[in-house]
Amino acid sequence: MAVKITELCINCGACIEECPATAIVGAEDSPLGGDVTYVKPEKCIECEGSDPRCATNCPTEGAIVWDLPYIAEYNDYYMDGHKNGIYKIRENKKGETLFPAVSPKPFQAGVSIAKREKHTNVVS
Ligand code: SF4
Ligand code: SF4
């Protein structure tokens, strides 16, 4: 990721069309089978240098929060999340799960790790 959608999401769908990376799916298509809209961390590019479009178009405070960068350094974090049902990372055609070590994504270096670890609101 990335960014992450929380249980506060009201499933309005406003973020889905805004994402330039087609990283967001509605609750009905969530690979977690949950009740809320879902960001695929293996696709999110953090809108590369501009404000995350999902969050700037979200009407619900606290629904979109920062998560750790999707890079090899945080591979274990995403592997654990995948094992524990927090994420469901896709596989490529070779059957490799697209963890950060396999397929890292751009992230906004200006957002601190402390902010990300606390999952603070993207728009505050
Ligand atoms: S931060 Fe950008 S790329 Fe990531 S889910 Fe939001 S709109 Fe998509
Ligand atoms: S815009 Fe916000 S409230 Fe609406 S679906 Fe996306 S995360 Fe949920």
Task: For residue 6, give the CATH number of its domain.
Answer: 3.30.70.20
Q: What is the pLDDT of residues 63-119, one digit of tens each?
A: 999 999 999 999 999 999 999 999 999 999 999 999 999 999 999 999 999 999 999
Q: What is the pLDDT of residues 19-64, one digit of tens each?
A: 999 999 999 999 998 899 999 999 999 998 789 999 999 999 999 9
Query: In total, how many domains does the chain have?
Result: 1
Rounded distance between C-alpha atoms, residue 65 and residue 18, angstroms: 16
Question: Does 81 reside within a domain?
Answer: no
23 CA → ligand 2 middle, Å: 13
Taking the CA of residue 64 as reference, the ligand 2 atom at the shortest distance is 7
Nearest-CA residue for ligand 1 atom 2 is 47
Question: Does 112 reside within a domain?
Answer: yes
CB 122 within 8 A of CB 94: no
Q: Find the domain containing 12 and state its range.
A: 1-70+106-124
pTM of the model: 0.95
| Antiparallel, parallel or unpaired: β 64-66 and 3-5 | antiparallel
Locate 23 and state its tokens.
């990283």
Mutate which of 16, 19, 116, 121 for ligand 1 pocket (most atoms within 8 A of beta carbon): 19
CB 113 within 8 A of CB 73: no
Question: What is the structure's pLDDT at 48?
Answer: 82
Question: Does 120 reside within a domain?
Answer: yes
Question: Does 88 reside within a domain?
Answer: no
